[in-house]
Structure 1
Amino acid sequence: MISLSKLFRSQPDPREARRPLWDAVVATARAPHWYAQGTVPDTLDGRFDMISLVMALVLHRIDDDPAQGIAGVQLTELFVNDMDGQMRQIGFGDMVVGKQVGRMMSALGGRLGVYRAVDGSDELRAALVRNLWRGNEPGKAGLAHVVAEVAALRAALAATPVVDLVVADHLGGAPR
């Protein structure tokens, strides 16, 4: 017979092991330099686009170590849960949230593909303009800042062993 204490004992959510990494993704994406020097719009869409960019770079790095694949899945689940919660907090109803989360996952999937482009390439620049500025050409200085920071973030991630990344609470440095 199962005791009541065992029946109601909650098991820790294994995704919570990735919470520090998720928090670091969000903190990195919310660093003021993206919006000030990079001129990324500081709007709901702009913030989502920055989180998607940083998330894609982190997931690319996790993909480099197939043994850590579950960490990428768990991180993505935290992304979904957070986006769901954010939409509910600003007043989206149940009927809308599911569709919006589906769109966000589709957007993240597309960004996972295009953000594999080589640093500094025309392909990467075009993807950044299309996604971060919604196709509106940013100033040269803003685009140059974002391109340089993406390369720096990718280099910091590449220098970090994946096993260390998935248990760490930083992405190669403190947000500026």
Structure 2
Amino acid sequence: MFLDRLLATFRARRKNDPVLRALYGTIMAQARQPYFFAKLKVPDTVDGRFDMVILHTYLVVARLRHGGETAEALSQDLFDHMFRDMDQALREMGVGDMGIGKRIQKMAAKFYGRGDAYDAGLEADDDMVLQEAIARNIFAAQEAPMEQVAALAGYMRAARQELATQSLDDVCAGRLRFPAPDVAAA
């Protein structure tokens, strides 16, 4: 019985692989947009790039969150896929097996913490709540440039709205689009 459920889960995840690759590829392409680093002054560091991946993955996970069983399972699979990619990236950077688990655990904690902060910020009537979350999380290592923080908050709101206009069927099929960062942040 247990083995049957395990095999069914494995088959379902393998079936989702093309969708996960499409979703994650779109997320990664958007997170790497030069505009975020050049114009919005997101730190162009490993941590800054990771924060942009978190931000975009969070937006997609939030879109899938209340979409029913299939969407919620896809959301979890996307989260798992992201952390498998992070595990691989750490290994390529030379982090040894002994350090991988602790680093991934810290990265997951960052994802959940930022997700909670972004949820609170996006749901708040006061835009300062979201801006404070962005300043604290994305610009933690430097003094936050408030104009850029406000622009990134505007981008997040526009991206969330853009994702909300896309059908859940499209998103669950891996067809996803984000707004142009320069237009959405304006």
Distance 1:57 1:72 in 2: 11
Question: 1:159 is matched with which residue: 157, 165, 182?
Answer: 165
Q: Deviations over 1:43-100 (max 9, x none)?
A: 0000001111111111111013123111101101110100000000010000001110
Alpha-carbon shift at residue 106 of structure 1 (Å):
0.8
How many angstroms does 1:28 deviate by? 1.1
2:142 matched to 1:126?
A: no
Q: 4+ runs of 1 displaced by more than 4 Å?
A: 173-176
Secondary structure of the corresponding residue to residue 42 of structure 2 = coil
Do structure 1's residue 33 and structure 2's residue 39 form an aligned pair? no
| Equivalent residue runs for 1:19-98 within 5 Å | 19-67=21-69, 68-98=71-101
Whether contact under 8 Å (1:23, 1:169) holds in the other structure is no
> Counting helix residues as a fraction of each chain, which structure ranks higher?
2
CA distance in 2, matches of 1:174, 1:75: 22
Q: Percent identity?
A: 30
1:106 and 1:148 mapped to 2: Cα distance?
25
| Letter matched to residue 38 of structure 2 | A
The one-letter code of the counterpart of 1:159 is: T
Residue ranges of structure 1 left out of the alignment (5+ in a row): 1-10
2:171 alignment partner AA: L
Check the 8 A contact 2:155/2:181 in 1, yes or no. Answer: no
TM-score between the two structures when normalised by the length of structure 2: 0.82
135 and 91 in structure 1: CA distance in 2 versus 1, 3 angstrom threshold: closer
The normalised TM-score by structure 1 is 0.86
Distance (Å, rounded) in 1 between the aligned partners of 2:131 and 2:48: 16
Question: Could you tell me which residue of structure 2 aligns to residue 100 of structure 1?
Answer: 103
Q: Which moved more, 1:139-148 or 1:91-100?
A: 139-148
Tell me the number of residue pairs that the alignment of Structure 1 and Structure 2 aligns.
167
Higher-Rg member (1/2): 1
Partner of 2:148: 142
Separation (CA, whole Å) in 2 of partners of 1:153 and 1:126: 18
Higher RCO (CA < 8 A, seq sep 6+):
1
